[in-house]
């Protein structure tokens, strides 16, 4: 058993608490990882807020991390101690019907136990002050050591800087894949990206790499416009600057609507606007943001009857074990940006400050 520091969420709505936890050794088909770097994501904050119906407490959150394999359980063949890895919140077992289908990346092998905050055998590897602590998204990267299923880990280039590539565990991969895998943006097309946080910037990067000729960024926070343009946005607008709905503004700006739109916020009203900003006949809108539990989307069926398509994406459609190492290689060869997404680097004990910066849009 390893004793180490972890940021424990004892209950919803309270700041994380830095505690000494015990991390049990990996069982069969499990891997124990020394986490070197982790990022914070709105999904962690959503569960911490108490709004997540799958949220269980006490829990160690975090799902954008990178580290080194410390030990492996019986039967593990894909990685060995010393390997550099990224934990995966969407695993890839290679055996379930989802993994065998090229149309999806949503491996279901351990989905039920992962959703309940436990390892595939139904138990936890974390204890603190004599209490069992739940796992989160099968990764729990807010701990100096974590245990994951062997299908939830990707071995990557040992030379990759872990404080950067940890972002490929969720946000950057999600946005980039939404553009290139889910929407399949074509050269010369016009795109609109709603929400210019990390995921939105990654969508812009994907649209630009795909050869889009016009990329319109939409956000209420104008401080984000300069960064969006650095990533490839050709122009940025705020819905507050117009008297009419933003979908009408976009339709006027683009002679009838955009070819592709992306919702990167998780707001059902914005999802509707993003669909309705698409061009009649061929416009495609991709939902990337995660809305709160129980919320529903609406539009008039005529929007779809007249040729618009509504899609969604999880982890950008990447089959995780196969794709994450390739994404790291694309970063190392400078095809995709990663360093530019990092605004702050903080020590682990300042993790609550990291959440405050995220909520402040900084």
Quote the CA–CA distance of 41 and 171 in Å, as a whole number: 8
What pLDDT does residue 292 have? Answer: 86
192: buried, middle or exposed (CB in 10 Å: 19+, 13-18, 0-12)? buried
Is residue 165 within a helix (H) or strand (E), and if so which, with residue range?
helix 162-165
- Residue 308 and residue 326 share a domain: no
Nearest to 68, CA basis, from 81, 59, 58, 78: 81
- Give per-residue burial for 260-288: e unless 16+ CB within 10 Å, then b: bbbbbbbbbebbbbbbbbbbeeebbbbbb
Per the structure, the complete domain to which residue 121 belongs is given by: 2-169+319-352
- Residue 144 and residue 50 share a domain: yes
Quote the CA–CA distance of 127 and 134 in Å, as a whole number: 9
- Residue 237 and residue 155 share a domain: no
CA torsion sign, 153 to 156 to 158 to 161?
negative
Residue 102 lies in a domain: yes
How many CB atoms are closer than 10 A to CB 310? Answer: 18
Quote the CA–CA distance of 251 and 346 in Å, as a whole number: 42
Nearest to 29, CA basis, from 145, 152, 136: 152
Residues in CB range of 124: below 8 A, 6 or more apart: 117, 118, 132, 133, 134, 135
What pLDDT does residue 51 have? Answer: 86
Domain count, the chain: 2
- Residue 324 and residue 279 share a domain: no
Residue 329 CA neighbour count, 13 Å, CB half: 8
Q: Are 70 and 33 in contact (CB under 8 A)?
A: yes
From first to last of the 362 residues of the chain, give the pLDDT tens digit: 999 999 999 999 999 999 999 999 999 999 999 999 999 999 999 999 998 888 999 999 999 999 999 999 999 999 999 999 999 999 999 999 999 999 999 999 999 999 999 999 999 999 999 999 999 999 999 999 999 999 999 999 999 999 999 999 999 999 999 999 999 999 999 999 999 999 999 999 999 999 999 999 999 999 999 999 999 999 999 999 999 999 999 999 999 999 999 999 999 999 999 999 999 999 999 999 999 888 999 999 999 999 999 999 999 999 999 999 999 999 999 999 999 999 999 999 999 999 999 999 88
Quote the CA–CA distance of 313 and 272 in Å, as a whole number: 16
- Residue 204 and residue 339 share a domain: no
Residue 357 lies in a domain: no
- Residue 325 and residue 302 share a domain: no
Residue 360 lies in a domain: no
Residue 361 lies in a domain: no
Quote the CA–CA distance of 150 and 79 in Å, as a whole number: 8
Residues in CB range of 75: below 8 A, 6 or more apart: 28, 29, 150
User: The tokens 């190392």 sit on which residue?
Assistant: 332
- Residue 259 and residue 340 share a domain: no
- Residue 251 and residue 216 share a domain: yes
- Residue 343 and residue 214 share a domain: no
State the pairing for strand pair 153-155/2-8.
Answer: unpaired
Nearest to 305, CA basis, from 333, 335, 275, 327: 275
């Amino acid at each position: 058993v390893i004793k180490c520091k972890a940021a424990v969420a004892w209950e919803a709505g309270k700041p994380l608490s830095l505690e000494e936890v015990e991390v049990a050794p990996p069982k069969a088909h499990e891997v124990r990882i020394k986490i070197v770097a982790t990022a914070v994501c709105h999904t962690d904050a959503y569960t911490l807020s108490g709004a997540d119906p799958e949220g269980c407490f006490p829990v160690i959150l975090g799902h954008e991390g990178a580290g080194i394999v410390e030990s492996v359980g019986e039967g593990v063949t894909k990685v060995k101690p010393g390997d550099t890895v990224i934990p995966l919140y969407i695993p890839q077992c290679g055996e379930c019907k989802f993994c065998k289908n090229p149309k999806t990346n949503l491996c279901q092998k351990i989905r039920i136990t992962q959703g309940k905050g436990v390892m595939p055998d139904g138990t936890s590897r974390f204890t603190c002050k004599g209490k069992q602590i739940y796992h989160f998204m099968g990764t729990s990267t807010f701990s100096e050591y974590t245990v994951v299923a062997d299908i939830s880990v990707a071995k990557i280039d040992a030379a990759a800087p872990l404080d950067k590539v940890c972002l490929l565990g969720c946000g950057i991969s999600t946005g980039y894949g939404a553009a290139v895998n889910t929407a399949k943006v074509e050269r010369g097309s016009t795109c609109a990206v709603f929400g210019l946080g990390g995921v939105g910037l990654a969508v812009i990067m994907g649209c630009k790499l795909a050869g889009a000729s016009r990329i319109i960024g939409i956000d209420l926070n104008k401080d984000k416009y300069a960064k969006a343009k650095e990533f490839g946005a050709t122009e940025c607008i705020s819905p507050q600057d117009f008297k009419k709905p933003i979908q009408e503004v976009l339709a006027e700006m683009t002679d009838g609507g955009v070819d592709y739109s992306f919702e990167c916020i998780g707001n059902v009203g914005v999802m509707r606007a993003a669909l309705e900003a698409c061009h009649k006949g061929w416009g495609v809108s991709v939902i990337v943001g995660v809305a709160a539990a129980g919320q529903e989307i609406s539009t008039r069926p005529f929007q779809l009857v007249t040729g618009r398509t509504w899609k969604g994406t999880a982890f950008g459609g990447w089959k995780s074990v196969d794709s994450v190492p390739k994404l790291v290689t694309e970063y190392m060869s400078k095809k995709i940006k990663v360093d530019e997404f990092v605004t702050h680097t903080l020590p682990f004990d300042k993790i609550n400050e990291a959440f405050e910066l995220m909520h402040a849009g900084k």
